[in-house]
Structure 1
Amino acid sequence: MDAIKQTLFEAAFTPSTLISPRGILHILEIVFGTIAFSGYTGSLNSYWVSNSTYSYWIYCKLVGWFFCPFVTLIITIIELVKLDIPLNKFCMDWPDFATGMAMTSTLMTLSVAIMYANFYTCATCINAWVVTIFAFLCGVAYLVEVLWDKICKKKKGSYLAVLPGFWKGLEAFVSCIIFMALPLTAYFDHGWLIMCLIAYILPFLFILLIIVVNILKKLKQSLPFNLDRAVFIFLIICVVLYVFAAIVWSIYTFRGHPRYECRLVVTIFTYINLILFIVDLVFTLFGICGFKRG
């Protein structure tokens, strides 16, 4: 109890955090993301408005320009009042979490910027170009933060900011791409394809659970079983599920049906995630690059 009180006593409001290099980058990320998020409200372009309800647009708004800046805002507030000190001591590896989230946000914001530019920009869409520019600036700001942490600060990380954790984040990210395209396939009239949906959801939930437990070091230490061994078992299940989905989805969506773009997107990213899970499983099996079997 005394140690907790002493650690909380160290927490204090420190405005100087905002004028540090990371603080300035955080402000830029939040501002650029907010501008991109709110930019659609001023659009008078009928093409944009008519397509704004598509899952691509929803994904861009919620994942790239809401989730990432919102997490950055929370991180900034926590570091502003020095609550990262007790969190780092009693709950989690805070530097690893902050750098890992910056790496994940870089991947999300840059991919969202490319996606948005591909679907929603045109020669006369001035507002869309403004959103695209700020979306790319947001991604670049996150990239600079990662380079600052990794090169200038030489932060090594314990999970999220190193390859095993980032790889799990990449698998979750690809799953999100699949979920984004699925509603537009308009082809769930067969029981086998419903099973494909289950095959996509379960690995995603497994990965989220693995990431959360690894971030919360106290929770990880209190588990009654070896987490690395459980991860290895989960990966085997994920590979089996994705093999099933890759085969069944390809057969039932392209057999006698038009090759709609969204169905093709789901198929491509299904195979991408299958490759990611197989590599993850092999690396874990042989203990390569920090992957542990337990």
Structure 2
Amino acid sequence: MDAIKQTLSEAAFTPSTLISPRGILHILEIVFGTIAFSVSAYTGSISSYWVSTYSYWIYCKFTWFFCPFVTLIITIIELVKLDIPLNMFCMDWPDFATGMAMTSTLMTLSVAIMYANFYPCATCINAWVVTIFAFLCGVAYLVEVLWDKICKKKKGSYLAVLPGFWKGLEAFVNCIIFLSLPLTAYFDHGWLIMCVIAYILPFPFILLIIVVNILKKLKKCLPFNLDRAVFIFLIICVVLYVFAAIVWSIYTFRGHPRYECRRGYNWVDTPRDLYCIYHFRLVVAIFTYINLILFIVDLVFTLFGICGFKRG
């Protein structure tokens, strides 16, 4: 009890954290992400901005809202030193903060590339502004990760080290597949719908595994061995993705025109108001094989306990 009182007494308002290198990086991340979100939202409200690729556009906006928002919450918690009781009672706070920076780096840099590929054109000034600030936001997160890992030499216990980041990478690749699926006309074929089910099933469990491993107190309360359950889960994921990789590839590369194109949902004069179904089916196929490789490596590493991967 005395230790708890002492820990809570250390929580205090410390504005000096805002002028530290990490605090400055947090401010830049929030500012750059907010500008990218605001300008993209303003532009989209005028022209719907290529709604033919609406799923990518929505994901970009979600990323520029989610990552700065999480950074803001982390900054406020560290500003009032609430990270001290959190670290004591429920999670490894340095691991969580660095792990979220790594996840945000992956998300923001990927959407910056995604946005730059689809939306800027010779006359799209706002789109170029969004692209510039999107890359600045991603670079700011990358610098934070390098600062934590190289300068501060933070090790981490799950999210900021390979096992946790690997799970985050699997979830991220799954998200890219989800973004491309609405543009593939998969609902025309029953077998492709089964592939979609195979993509959907692992996703919530990946997120649940990440959350349980972050909340170390919750992990200890589970009535079963989590590491053994993860091992079984990975076997199921490999089977599902082997099925999806075979079936999706058959429907993508055989018997369908390579340049089957459809007009987007918006009828404004945009640089690309046509999208080719084949291209997005190819994206899904490529990322299916990427995630299959990730799950196989995860399974092998978990089986032999390599790099901190565990099997109970």
TM-score by length of 1: 0.92
State the 1:152 CA deviation.
0.7
1:44-66 superposed Cα distances (whole Å, 9 cap, x missing partner):
678657xx8611111111xxx11
SS of the equivalent of 2:307 reads: coil
Q: Does the 8 A contact of 2:43 with 2:126 survive in 1?
A: no
Preserved CA contact (<8 Å) 1:95 1:157: yes
- Structure 1 residues 34, 261: closer, same or farther in 2, change over 3 A? farther
In structure 2, distance between residues paired with 1:248 and 1:42:
36
Deviation at 1:187, TM superposition (A): 2.3
* Preserved contact between residue 186 and residue 193 of structure 2 (Cα < 8 Å): no
* Unaligned 5+ runs, structure 1: none
User: Matches of 1:46 and 1:225 in 2, distance apart?
Assistant: 49
Q: CA deviation at 1:86?
A: 0.6
2:311 aligned with 1:272:
no
Distance 1:59 1:261 in 2: 25
C-alpha distance in 2, partners of 1:83/1:179?
36
- Cα deviations by residue, 1:83-128 (Å, 9 ceiling, x for unpaired): 1111000000000000001011111111110110010111222211
Q: Per the alignment, do residues 132 and 182 of structure 1 end up closer, same or farther by CA in structure 2, a change over 3 Å counting?
A: same
Q: Could you tell me how far 1:260 is from its partner in structure 2?
A: 5.9
Deviations 1:136-185 (A, max 9, x none): 00000000000100011110000011011101000000000000011111
Partner of 1:136: 135
Deviates more, 1:34-43 or 1:112-121: 34-43
Answer whether contact 1:203 1:238 (CA < 8 A) is retained.
yes
Give 1:188 deviation, angstroms.
1.1
Query: How far did residue 2 of structure 1 move?
Result: 4.8
How far did residue 43 of structure 1 move? Answer: 8.3
Output the CA distance in 1 between the equivalents of 2:205 and 2:239: 14
The Cα of 1:261 is off from its aligned counterpart by 8.9
Q: Verify the 8 A CA contact 2:86 2:93 in the aligned structure 1.
A: yes
**Cα distance change on mapping 1:287 and 1:55 into 2, 3 Å:** same
Provide the rounded CA distance (Å) in 2 between the counterparts of 1:167 and 1:175.
Answer: 12
Paired residue for 2:274? Answer: none
- 1:231, distance to aligned residue in structure 2 (A): 0.8
- In structure 2, the residue matched to 1:242 is 241
Aligned equivalents of 1:83 and 1:47: distance in 2?
41
Count of aligned pairs: 288
Counterpart for residue 60 of structure 2: 60
Distance 1:58 1:137 in 2: 20
Give the C-alpha shift of residue 259 in structure 1: 3.6
CA contact (8 A) 1:96 1:158 kept: yes
Distance 1:78 1:232 in 2: 34
Describe the superposition over 1:234-280 as per-residue Cα deviations: whole angstroms up to 9, x where unpaired.
Answer: 10011001111111122234442234699x11111111100110111
The answer to whether the Cα contact below 8 Å between 1:29 and 1:69 also exists between their aligned partners in 2 is: yes
Structure 2 regions of 5+ residues with no counterpart? 262-281
1:4 and 1:129 map into 2 onto residues whose CA distance is: 51
- Is the Cα contact below 8 Å between 1:106 and 1:139 reproduced in 2? yes
Secondary structure at the counterpart of residue 234 of structure 2: helix
Q: Compute the RMSD of aligned alpha carbons.
A: 2.0
Alignment of 1:248-267 (within 5 A): 248-259=247-258, 264-267=282-285
| In structure 2, distance between residues paired with 1:182 and 1:278 | 23
CA distance in 1, matches of 2:49, 2:90: 48
Q: In the superposition, relative to structure 1, how do residues 72 and 260 fare at CA in structure 2: closer, same or farther (>3 Å)?
A: farther
Q: Is the 8 A contact 1:17 1:79 kept in 2?
A: yes
Distance apart, 1:285 and its partner CA: 1.0
Q: Percent identity?
A: 95
Q: Is the 8 A contact 1:42 1:127 kept in 2?
A: no
